[in-house]
Amino acid sequence: MAPFFFNFENCVIDLSASRSRSTICLGSSPDLVFLTHLCHHQRQHFMVLPGVADAIRTSLGPRGMDKMIQRGDGEVIITNDGATILGQMSVFHPCAKMLVELSKSQDIEAGDGTTSVVVLAGSMLNACSDLLAKGIHPTMIADSFKAASEKAEEILQAMSKPVDLRARETLIDAVVTCLSSKVVSQNSDILAPIAVDAVLKIIDPDTARNVDLNDIRIVKQLGGTVDDTELVPGIVFEKGANKGAAGGPTRIEKAKVGLIQFHLSAPKTDMENNVVVSDYAAMDRILREERKYILNLVKKIKKSGCNVLLVQKSILRDAYNDLSLHFLAKMDIMVITEVERTDVEFIQRTLGCMPVAHIDSFTPDKLGSAELVTEVTVPGGSHKVVKVTGVQNPGSTMSILIRGSNKLVLEEADRSLHDALCVVRSLVKKRFLIAGGGAAETEVNLGLTEWSKMQAGMKAYCVAAFAQSLEVVPYTLAENGGLNPIAIVTELRRRHAGGEKGTGINVRQSNISDMYEERVVQPLLVSLSAISLASETVCMLMKIDDLVPVARV
């Protein structure tokens, strides 16, 4: 890197890439030298950060573009979800990795706004770079940004409107706003009510303060379209019943459901071995004993009253064989195999059954119950699934069966529905709504600008720069919508200065309108979390003055 010079009134400072090569001439001030050197090193590791934000900036908003990601194994992902895009990127710079973690934190806290939080962080870092160039110390910038972030939360809280969780249509509006920027936005009229109903049916709207999304199981099924997605008040198994050669039942009413974790096959030793049998009589005796052993297992299962049997998937050896399926079919027991270990807890909470690890423990008190267990062919395809409805504990869990014409659409619908569920969860955690379309960021920008005029010294410059950085959201919305960003943001600022707090950018009509009338709303928690997490990350980065590589041992 070529040397460059800073010219001051009484000194000339020559800074190269290495600290040891820095030379000071003409008797300069030590504080001034340190600050200039600090600015140089911070700029070095700041250069890579706005590039990460710019990579996903075009995906923000309803008119944002999607990204096609090709992974190393050849798999292709099409999405505009910020957390997904950043999660798939190969990022090597430690500071850039912090932005990736920032997006993940937003996804955990709010579930939505994963693109906005990184775009905000990138804009704040640009503002910090300008402040450093003016000679303001990084610690002063970090402290001022923290104070501005707290003030921004007060402004957002003041402009928000309380929401009643029983107002279903209002919740649907918030979910539709979230889905408007997704690939499956044209299916939001189907997905939004499903997401709202799924959450409302597993909580008490009056007392709930959080939602465990593990109580909502999403099952993906290829075939049909996203419009065929449905909400099932029970359990959906991805595969049909395993009927075997004897053809077992496919519909059971007043079901008694058992879940087993042992094997319905002949016992084997723990180590690899081969048994050579040369005598036909001995061979017949082995087959007869195996048949007797399996029949005894099935008789005990039938004696308990079980008529629907769930068999957990095994990686050690065969969890079942054709002979056991034959006996179970003859005794009119419906069999569902390949149950994943991760689904056992969900099944247990839904049906009230207990997983059984040994046949001697398979007793009637371990069984769950359901009104109907039936195998159905999903519309738009030939694949079969098993639906369990009329469960013992209605309202404790829900299942969503997602459909899609191809794998790419199916995966994106899954991610979009997760974001939709997170939006409803955000409203449960913090029951306030704010206007979308850049209205919140514009209002905070104006509020912080006025507040900065009451501050003294360098803090006033820092707060004003923080406020200015928030305008990147309405600017990007206008830019991605094909509008004139400068004219739109200027008009939006004028309308908010006139007291119209709910006005935002309507990209569909290419104008500025009242977002509450357009029913474009979003949870308060999403914006609060985005501004708080972005400013916290920037403040941490501001206090890093150098990158110290460690030698490999």
Tell me the C-alpha to C-alpha distance, in Å, between residue 246 and each of 146, 287, 326, 334: 70, 19, 5, 12
- Give the pLDDT confidence of 260-318 residue by residue, as tens digits: 998 888 877 666 777 787 888 888 888 888 899 999 999 999 999 999 999 998 877 77
Model-level pTM? 0.83
pLDDT at residue 42 in the model: 58
- Give the pLDDT confidence of 192-207 residue by residue, as tens digits: 999 999 999 998 888 8
Radius of gyration, alpha carbons of the chain: 31
Q: How confident is the model at residue 21 (pLDDT cuts 50, 70, 90)?
A: very low
Please state the φ and ψ torsions of residue 160, each to the nearest 5 degrees: -80, 160
The rounded distance, in Å, linking the Cα atoms of 120 and 140 is 20
Mean pLDDT of 482-496: 92
Superfamily of the domain at 30-162+435-543: GroEL-like equatorial domain (1.10.560.10)
> Residue 322: which residues within 8 A CB-CB, separation 6 or more?
244, 245
- Give the pLDDT confidence of 387-441 residue by residue, as tens digits: 999 887 777 889 999 998 888 889 989 999 999 999 999 999 999 999 989 999 9
Please state the φ and ψ torsions of residue 511, each to the nearest 5 degrees: -150, -175
The rounded distance, in Å, linking the Cα atoms of 304 and 292 is 19
Helices vs strands, H then E, count in the chain: 17, 20
- Is the pLDDT at 14 greater than 50, yes or no? no
- Give the pLDDT confidence of 440-467 residue by residue, as tens digits: 999 999 999 999 999 888 999 999 999 9
pLDDT at residue 8 in the model: 33
Residues catalogued as catalytic: 81, 114-115, 419
Identify the CA nearest to 526 among candidates 416, 466, 436: 436
> Residue 447: which residues within 8 A CB-CB, separation 6 or more?
151, 152, 155, 467
- Is the pLDDT at 41 greater than 70, yes or no? no
- Amino acid identity, residue 306? C
Identify the CA nearest to 290 among candidates 302, 301, 298, 279: 298
The rounded distance, in Å, linking the Cα atoms of 337 and 339 is 6
Q: Where are the domains of the chain?
A: 30-162+435-543, 234-393
pLDDT at residue 263 in the model: 86
Mean pLDDT of 463-487: 92
pLDDT at residue 364 in the model: 92
Mean pLDDT of 512-537: 92
- Is the pLDDT at 23 greater than 80, yes or no? no
- Is the pLDDT at 27 greater than 60, yes or no? no
369 and 256 in contact (C-beta within 8 Å)? Answer: yes
Mean pLDDT of 2-11: 36
537 and 49 in contact (C-beta within 8 Å)? Answer: no
218 and 230 in contact (C-beta within 8 Å)? Answer: no
pLDDT at residue 401 in the model: 93
Pick the CATH number of 234-393 from 3.20.20.80, 3.40.190.10, 3.40.50.970, 3.50.7.10: 3.50.7.10
What percent of the chain is modeled with pLDDT above 90? 43
Mean pLDDT of 142-169: 92
